[in-house]
A and B are shown apart, each in its own frame.
Chain A
């Protein structure tokens, strides 16, 4: 097993913003966080670290649920509609309902400014 790498890799990635051995780039996470509101000004160094793991868990869960829809339809290719179905079927993903039911480009970022 290579689990040690996931955790011990934290160090070389650090908070310098490099992608490093993290699964997700910390600088990008930080940018996205800052865009979520005017009030978000200061973010501790460990916040993007927590998010990199949380996002990984979230992506996995969303994908797993979507894949179950794909399998129910006896297909082997997960498509966008499967993701939408998974979102609709999961209360936890209510915050995504608008996102999956409209064109991504129509979602105005001014909502988040």
Chain B
């Protein structure tokens, strides 16, 4: 009953409480198509895409474990609720402080206040790396970055060996290579290509295609 309504075995009638767009017309009564319809209309505004959610949750269960469709959908909905919950808190803070824009720090504050302190460490790191990369964007125009990227890839192929570069790069546990760090050494050691530890495949932030694969 409940399952039918939410996961679409039904055609037209069950629009009770359905807040989604009226354009959902389930003319096909097969389960798969209706589920897709429901997912599409749900997903458009209210939820994160189920495929992305699936990818994440598969990372934390064993490879022989399975997740039912309704569990995935429930988690998908919970994620949206999480966003709303945290945003609401962050928004209140901005209002109190008479600021108009919710920024990353507000989100982190709200997350802490609501009890998710454990997330804060990784989040702050993530945010600081993002900011660093954004700053680099300002300094280096796109063309120049791509040119540098080609050079590094070329050198990387030629020489893969450990050196004092590794210490001097000053990267953290997450092995993100800030372009600024790398460039400062490129500048100093003019004729010597930057060297990177062999156990870490080096990826510059500016190549879009390779990361698609990495994150799959």
A binding-site residues for B, Cβ under 8 Å: 1-12, 19-21, 23-25, 28-29, 31-33, 35-37, 39-44, 46-47, 49-51, 53-60, 62-64, 66-67, 70, 76-80, 82-84, 87, 91-93, 95-96, 99-100, 103-106, 108-109, 112
Are A11's CB and B48's CB within 8 A?
Answer: no
Of A12, A78, A105, the residue contacting B6 (CB under 8 A) is A105
Of B65, B108, B111, B202, the residue contacting A4 (CB under 8 A) is B202
In this assembly, does B139 line the interface, its C-beta being within 8 Å of a C-beta of chain A? no
Are A109's CB and B19's CB within 8 A?
Answer: yes
Residues of B within 8 A of A109 (CB): 19, 46
Size of interface on B: residues with Cβ below 8 Å to A:
90
In this assembly, does B160 line the interface, its C-beta being within 8 Å of a C-beta of chain A? no
B204 to chain A, nearest CB (A): 7
Known contacts A2-B214, A5-B203, A99-B78: does B126 contact A53 (CB below 8 Å)?
yes
Which are the 3 A-B pairs with shortest beta-carbon distances? A5-B214, A8-B205, A21-B211
B6 to chain A, nearest CB (A): 5
Interface majority SS (helix, strand, loop, mixed), chain A: helix
A88 to chain B, nearest CB (A): 13
Interface flags, B126-153, vs A, CB<8A=1, else 0: 1101110110010000000000000000
Q: Which stretch in B27-35, B82-90, B184-192 binds the other chain? A: B82-90
Known contacts A57-B119, A79-B71: does B95 contact A50 (CB below 8 Å)?
no
B172 to chain A, nearest CB (A): 10
Q: How far is B19's CA from A103's CA once the two chains are assembled, in angstroms?
A: 13
Are B2's CB and A103's CB within 8 A?
Answer: yes
Are B52's CB and A12's CB within 8 A?
Answer: no
